[in-house]
Amino acid sequence: MTEGAIPLSDPDITSAELEAVRAALQLPSLTGGPRVQAFEQAFAAYLGREHAVAFCGGQMALMMALKACGVGAGDEVIASPYSYREAVNAIALLGAKPVFSDIDYWSGALVAEKIEPRLTSRTRAIVGGNPNGHPAAWSSLRKLAEWRGLTLIEDSTEAIGSSYRGALVGTFGDCSVFDFSQPGPISCGEGGMVVTDDPLVAAALRRHRGRRPDQRASVSGGTVVAHQVGMSDIAAALGLAQLQRLDTILAKRKTVELYYGEYIRSFEGIKPPFVAPEVDEIHWFLYVVHLGTRFTRTSRDAIVDDLLTEQVTAAAYALPLHLRSVYLEAGYKRGDYPMTEKVADRAVALPFHTHLTESKVAFIAQTLKDASINVGAGAAIYL
């Protein structure tokens, strides 16, 4: 991002967050102290889960969730190729094998009927997400997981505040994972959280995270080889302050979403954002538009470049994970997951945060329209 450009994300930081961080800096413990415990308790209460365990980042949180649920080297874990690389990295770093399953064209989420043929005797878990805020079909995923005796991990990073069949995301997995880096509504710089209702899993999460407070009297103390991946009290103070303001932050983001809806609607061939019938509420992670089928991956990239030239920070929303070099080397190829490729090749993420004014959104929308015409493909943009 160049200086003066409209950023893709911009955390909602107020005097409340600044004061919370200042107070945390005056405490004698900056890691694993009272602010971390307070954030964990408040986050568990927000979701109605029994336990919440904080980590230094979302990738490590997911890795520890899998480990606490008994997933290890040689096991297979179902994952989406239409996701952030950190989710698949967590599986691979644990020594397990990510096994991709294609997505639903409309929601972008994993679906049970496409997962089932990918299951083997070595499959131990499913890691499903709520892409860009839209909840997955958790009822069918839960039914499949229980039928096959699999752990269901919910990656809820992109959808905090969204709800499905009367329940908030983060309540559907045996473990649910959140990442608090940008561009989410809760931004701690870096941080992650795992929530669960299983006390044994919660105990394992804390055991793997780091030494217990009663072991810190000895430099070499400890009964397990812990990863030392806890959250700092500074990050926890920031996260707790934003959690306490979450309804306000989400409402402000909804206003920006309405601005986009008004100005993007002027595009030829527009269709409204997809919301599945069983979804009650969606809070978008970023504002993602889907280009019409007349566009190619190359023209999508050209549009992103044109936006950057006009000081609008945009990006391809997701690059198919099975086409990353590490997985190409494992035998994956273009064409293996056609729905993922079709959606990912034409998805553009636009700036989405609470500091966007109506005039800025109008400028972004017009610039996007001009860019789409410049690449010679017309202006058929789909949300």
In a shared domain, residues 371 and 330: yes
Strand partners, 248: none
In a shared domain, residues 233 and 261: no
Residue that the structure tokens 């527009």 belong to: 270
Residue 378: its pLDDT value, please? 52
- Do 367 and 307 form a contact (C-beta atoms < 8 A)? yes
In a shared domain, residues 304 and 160: no
Helices (H), the chain: 15-25, 34-47, 58-68, 85-93, 112-115, 138-148, 199-209, 233-244, 246-264, 297-309, 325-328, 338-344, 358-374
- What is the domain range of residue 162? 15-244
In a shared domain, residues 252 and 293: yes
Q: From CA 369, how far away is CA 380, in angstroms rounded?
A: 9
Taking the chain (383 residues) in consecutive chunks of 10 residues, what is each chunk's mean pLDDT?
84 96 90 91 98 96 97 97 91 95 96 97 97 96 98 96 97 97 92 98 95 55 74 96 97 96 73 83 94 86 95 93 87 93 93 97 93 70 51
Q: Is residue 224 a part of any domain in this protein?
A: yes
In a shared domain, residues 306 and 359: yes
Where is the domain boundary, 213, 244, 275?
Answer: 244
Where is the domain boundary, 228, 244, 260?
Answer: 244
DSSP string of 206-243?
A: HHHH---GGGTTSTT--SS-----PPBHHHHHHHHHHH
In a shared domain, residues 205 and 253: no
Residue 110: its pLDDT value, please? 97
Q: Is residue 10 a part of any domain in this protein?
A: no
Where is the domain boundary, 216, 244, 272?
Answer: 244
Q: Is residue 8 a part of any domain in this protein?
A: no
- Do 135 and 142 form a contact (C-beta atoms < 8 A)? no
Q: From CA 229, how far away is CA 351, in angstroms rounded?
A: 31
Residue 381: its pLDDT value, please? 54
Residue 269: its pLDDT value, please? 46
Integer distance in angstroms from the first to the last C-alpha of the chain?
A: 24
In a shared domain, residues 25 and 97: yes
In a shared domain, residues 171 and 257: no
Residue 293: its pLDDT value, please? 80
Number of domains in the chain: 2
Q: What is the pLDDT of residues 73-124, one digit of tens each?
A: 999 999 999 998 888 999 999 999 999 999 999 999 999 999 999 999 999 9
Q: Is residue 208 a part of any domain in this protein?
A: yes
Residue 1: its pLDDT value, please? 58
In a shared domain, residues 96 and 230: yes
In a shared domain, residues 191 and 299: no
User: Any idea what the CATH number is for the domain that residue 363 is in?
Assistant: 3.90.1150.10
In a shared domain, residues 98 and 118: yes
User: Any idea what the CATH number is for the domain that residue 169 is in?
Assistant: 3.40.640.10
Residue 9: its pLDDT value, please? 95
Residue 105: its pLDDT value, please? 93
Q: From CA 355, how far away is CA 83, in angstroms rounded?
A: 26
